[in-house]
Amino acid sequence: MSNLPVRLKELRADRGITQDQIAEAVQVSKSLIAAFETARLIPKDDTAAAIDAFLGTGDEIQELSAEARKNRRPAPSWFRPWQDVEETAVILRYFQATLIPGLLQTEAYARAVFASTGMLSDDEVAGRVANRMERQAAILDREDRPSCAFIIDAAALRCGPPEIAKDQLLHLADTSARSNIFVHVVPDSAGLHAGRSGSFTLATQDGGGTVGLLDDFYEDRVVTDPARVTGLERTWQAITAVALPCDQSRNLILRLVNDHDDPAAELAQGQP
């Protein structure tokens, strides 16, 4: 494994500089520098060169970045076409019926999700989790952040081992406070709705074209046929109509957090 994250921290400590100072010097966000230092993201060539120039380290960061990319675990082959779409989209919309969306999962929650399939070895689970964390950084911490809307069925908020559920809900509430992230919950009171047929994603590019992704048991399916994409757009609109506004959704999430502190509390049933 590349020692890029360790070396970046060492160089900062030696020079007595902060992540904010590096971010300002190379004109990226502080969260992006933090992602480099936690191995969630690898600097692109121009960013690595800018860091080298600021730190006066020759080509060291560029070489370590190239090594990290070489050793990076590849995403599953079926996912790569979607990965390219997702990482360049300007608008992303996710509906999840059964789980917290992957981009909003904590590392512990993601590990529990992959382990629960019973079909992956420990190494495969670790690889999937690493890919998910890298994907989160690539989307949520990139320089030109997309507008991200997430609609989550209330049942998904109550799914997961109790020992990790509270931290996951807190992370969800914290992430929903970002200016470019909008989290909506479909309350239990919505009953049957269009989203009961399954989870999906819509990604809109800068030019206006939209691509969909349908969840499947073995591998997700990319949807490019205009008629089917339109069908997903209509389904999204129907689900939006029964979802709670962002502020009420966050209140519901925090109410479930409080339920973890008070085991005797009655589980929230989706009322704002």
Chain segment 2-28, per-residue pLDDT in tens: 588 889 989 999 999 999 999 999 988
Q: What is the pLDDT of residues 198-244, one digit of tens each?
A: 899 999 998 889 999 998 766 778 899 999 999 999 999 999 999 99
Amino acid 71: pLDDT: 67
Q: Whole-angstrom Cα distance, residue 79 to residue 122?
A: 21
CB-CB contact of 135 with 40 (8 Å)? no
The neighbouring-strand residues paired with 149 are 93, 182
Cα–chain-centroid distance for residue 31? 14
CB-CB contact of 180 with 146 (8 Å)? yes
- Count the neighbouring beta carbons within 10 Å of the beta carbon of residue 95: 26
Phi, psi of 144 (to 5 degrees): -100, 80
Q: Whole-angstrom Cα distance, residue 232 to residue 138?
A: 25
Amino acid 40: pLDDT: 67
- The token pair that represents 268 in the structure block: 């929230």
Amino acid 62: pLDDT: 93
Question: Half-sphere exposure of residue 59, counting CA atoms within 13 Å on the CB side?
Answer: 3
- Count the neighbouring beta carbons within 10 Å of the beta carbon of residue 7: 15
Among the listed residues 87, 70, 76, the one whose alpha carbon sits nearest the alpha carbon of residue 136: 87
Q: Whole-angstrom Cα distance, residue 162 to residue 57?
A: 46
Phi, psi of 223 (to 5 degrees): -115, 115
Burial of 157 (0-12, 13-18, 19+ CB in 10 A): buried
CB-CB contact of 96 with 236 (8 Å)? no
* Domains of the chain as residue ranges with CATH: 4-71 (1.10.260.40), 80-261 (3.30.870)
Low-confidence ranges of the chain (pLDDT < 70): 1-2, 40, 71-80, 217-218, 261-272
- For residue 263, what are the contacts with CB-CB under 8 A and spacing of at least 6? none
Q: Whole-angstrom Cα distance, residue 175 to residue 182?
A: 9
Q: Whole-angstrom Cα distance, residue 81 to residue 161?
A: 32
SS3 content of the chain, % helix, strand, coil (to 5): 55, 10, 35
